[in-house]
Every structure is written in C-alpha cells, then in structure tokens.
Structure 1
Amino acid sequence: MLSKIMTALRGKANETGQAIVDTQALRILDQEIRDAEQNLKASKTELARLMGQRQVNSNKADTLEAKITELEQSAEAALDKGEEQLAIEVAERMVALQNELDAERGIVSEYDTSIESLRGAIRSTENQLRQLKQQVSVVKATESAQKAQSAVAARHSGQSSAMNSAVESLERIRERQQLNAAQMQAAEQLAADESGSSLDARLKAAGIGANERKAEDVLARLKAKKNSAQS
C-alpha cells in the first residue's frame, strides 16, 4: 500500500511539473535560446583565441624556418672555407631547429583542424538558431491567435444569454411597432367611415354617383347649347 501511495505521489508530482512546464513553455523556450546564444558567443571567443594562438605558433615556425635557411647558408660558407668542423656544428644546430620547426608546424596543423571544426560548429549553430527563432515567431503568433480565439469564445459563451435576450427584445419592439401601425390604420378607417369619405370613395370606385367634372364635358355641353340656340 505504501509503495502505491509513493507511486501515486510521484505521478502527481510529475503531472504538476509537466503542467508548470506547459504553462511556461514559451518563457522556457526563450531562455533556452538565450542560453544557446551565450554558448555561441563563448564559442566565437574560443575561436578567436585559437586563431590568435595559431598565429603565434605560425610566426614562430616562420622564424625557425628563416633561421634554418640562414644557418644553411652559414654551413655552406664554412665548407667553402674548409671549416668542416664549424660546418658540422652549424648542421647540428640546423637539425635541432628543424625538429622545433616540425613540432611547431604540427601544432599549427592541429590548430587549423580545431579552428575549421569550430567554425563549422558555429555556422551550424547560427543556422539552427536563425531557423529556431523564425519558428518561435510563428509559434508565438499562433499562441496569441489561439488566446484571442479562446477569449472570444469565453465571452461568447458568457454573453449568449444576453444576446438571446437582445434578440427577444428586438422581436418585441417589432411586434409593438406592427401593432401600432395596425391601430393607426384602423383609426384612420374609423374616421373615414364617420365622415362618409369612405362610402364616397367606394361609390366612386364602383362608378356610381357624381363623376369628376372634366373640361371635355364642359366643352361638349357648351357646344350642345350653342347648336340648340342656332336651330
């Protein structure tokens, strides 16, 4: 039982830790990028140090090579003068310097290998960081959009009842306006009935009763009157 309790506690702790990581994911990612940038900066500093040290050893090798060339000329001059023993001493010195030169050239070669390897790692890291930053920008934009959508959804769910109430209020206003219009139309009809204008309008529409006086009718009446007087 105790073992199960401990397992449950570890599981809970893991869930809590994972929840913290999830909620702080972008902040953690930003810090990891800053750490990578610091490491990249340190690598560039180390590259500069290696290049400087390589130059020191290269200059030393150049100096040794120049010295060996000078001693070779001295040995040839000693031989020309018959100073063979002196020439041997010069040759021994040349051998010692040649050994030093070979060692320095070996060191320079090792520096060249290390420098090239570190340069490659720096280029690769810079490319990865650039791509990572671009992807982080996309992730942050998506995160902001999703938060905005979530906020809108939350407000919508919280205001749905208010929206429904507003729609109902709008319908009630429309119904009241329609009722008012019907009432005003009925009042106008009642007023027309009381004044008789409604009956006159219906008779006129049916062609019954007084017709509208027209200029043509008046002219026809005058002509008829004139003709009657002449006859």
Structure 2
Amino acid sequence: MLNLFRTVARGAAARAEEDLFDRNALIILDQQIRETRAALERSRQALAASVAGDKAEARRLAEVEGRAADLEARAVTAIQGGRDDLAGDAAEAIAELEAERDAIRAARTRFAAEVARIRAVVADATRRQAELERGRRIAAAAEMARRLRVSPAPRDRATLKEAEATLARLRALQAEADDTEAALNEARPGADIAERLEREGFGPNTRPTPSAVLDRLRARADAARPQGA
C-alpha cells in the first residue's frame, strides 16, 4: 500500500509538472530563446577572437620569415668576406627562426581546421536560431488563437460569441433608429412635395446650387475689375 501511495504521488507530481509546463510553454520558450541567443553571440565573439588571433600569427610568421631571410643574406655576405665565425652565429639564429617558423605553420594548419569546424557549428546554430525564432512567432500567434477559442475564465472575460451578439444587437438598434427617422420624415406634411417642387425649379432654393455659386463669383469678379477696363 505504501508503494502504491508513493507511485500515486510521483504520478501526481509528474502530471502537475506537465500541466505547469503546458500553461507556461510560451514563457519557457522565450527564456530558452534568450539563453540560446546569448550563447550564440558568445560563440560568434569567440570565433571572431580566434580569427583575429590567427591573423596575428600570420603577421608573426611573416616577421620570422623576413628575419630569417635577412640573416641568411647577411650570412652569405659574411662567408664571402671570410667571416665564418659570424656566419656560424647567423646559422644558429637562422636555425632557431626556421624552427619557430615551422612551429607557427603547423599550429596555423591545425588552427585553420579548428576554425573551419567552429565556423560550420556557428553557421548551423545561426540557422537553427533563426528557425527557432520564426517558430516562436508562429507559436505565439497560434497560442493567441487558441486562447480566443478557449477562454480560460469565461465568467471574467468576454468571448467572441458575446461580442458578436452585442454587435448584432447594436446593429439592430441602429437600423431601428434609421427606420424611425425615415418614418418621421415621411410623416411631415408637404415635406416631400416641397422638395420635389424645389428640384423642378418652382420657388426659391433652400440649398446652395452650383449655378448660384457661379453667379456670385462672377459678381465679385465684375466688382473687382478696374473701372473702364
């Protein structure tokens, strides 16, 4: 019996953990994206530092090779001048420089392979990060749609159906008001016939017309024209 209780407790804890994750999945995803983005940025910075270090090694290699070449030329001149002792000292220095040169070349060869590997890893991580952030935006939109379909607290929050019912009621009230106003206009004695007579040109106009405005503009133009013009 005790083992059964323990199993039930573990099952309840696992179910509670799953429910907590499901309710906060988007928050968890946002935090994970922030952490992976920060890790990717650190990787890019490390790659940039490595490339900069390799460029420094390339400059050092060129310097070593230049010194070795200079010493070799000078040693040849010393031999030609009968100074084998100086040529011997130069040979020792050249040997050390050539050993350093070979070490730098070997290190750069290994480093180039490692940098290529890191570049591939960073490129793959960049692509996956971009896909992850695009997926997050889609997931956020889907989550908003899901919450619209399933209201977490129907007693406290309006649903789409409630809002649609309110809109339909509002439209019905507006249509009823329009119908009432139209009926009142029709009920005014002589209103319709007076408007018809005015449109046909019988009686004074109660609203501005283009011809009346044009006549007024012409009168102002004639008044502004200089006398005798």
- For normalisation by structure 1, the TM-score amounts to 0.63
Q: CA deviation at 1:3?
A: 2.0
Matches within 5 A, 1:27-66: 27-66=27-66
Q: CA deviation at 1:84?
A: 2.5
CA distance in 1, matches of 2:2, 2:151: 44
SS in 2 for 1:151: coil
Number of the residue aligned with 1:229: none
Number of residue pairs matched by the alignment: 161
| 1:28-49 C-alpha deviation (Å, 9 max, x unpaired) | 0111111110001111111122
Q: CA deviation at 1:114?
A: 2.5
| 1:134-192 C-alpha deviation (Å, 9 max, x unpaired) | 1221221111112112239x678x98xx9xxx9xxxxxxxxxxxxxxxxxxxxxxxxxx
**Residue segments in structure 2 that go unaligned for 5+ positions in a row:** 170-229
- For normalisation by structure 2, the TM-score amounts to 0.63
CA distance in 2, matches of 1:126, 1:38: 12
Q: CA deviation at 1:101?
A: 1.1
CA distance in 1, matches of 2:150, 2:23: 15
Q: CA deviation at 1:97?
A: 0.8
CA distance in 2, matches of 1:54, 1:109: 10
Opposite residue 68 of structure 1, the aligned amino acid is A
Write 1 or 2 for the structure with the bigger share of helix. Answer: 1
Number of the residue aligned with 1:227: none
Number of the residue aligned with 2:135: 135
| 1:58-85 C-alpha deviation (Å, 9 max, x unpaired) | 2211111000000110111112112233
Number of the residue aligned with 1:195: none
**Residue segments in structure 1 that go unaligned for 5+ positions in a row:** 167-231
Superposed CA RMSD: 2.7
Number of the residue aligned with 1:91: 91
The worse-fitting range, judged by mean Cα deviation, of 19-28 and 143-152 is 143-152
Matches within 5 A, 1:52-201: 52-151=52-151
CA distance in 1, matches of 2:18, 2:148: 24
Q: CA deviation at 1:100?
A: 0.8
User: In percent, how many aligned pairs have the same letter?
Assistant: 25
CA distance in 1, matches of 2:150, 2:20: 20
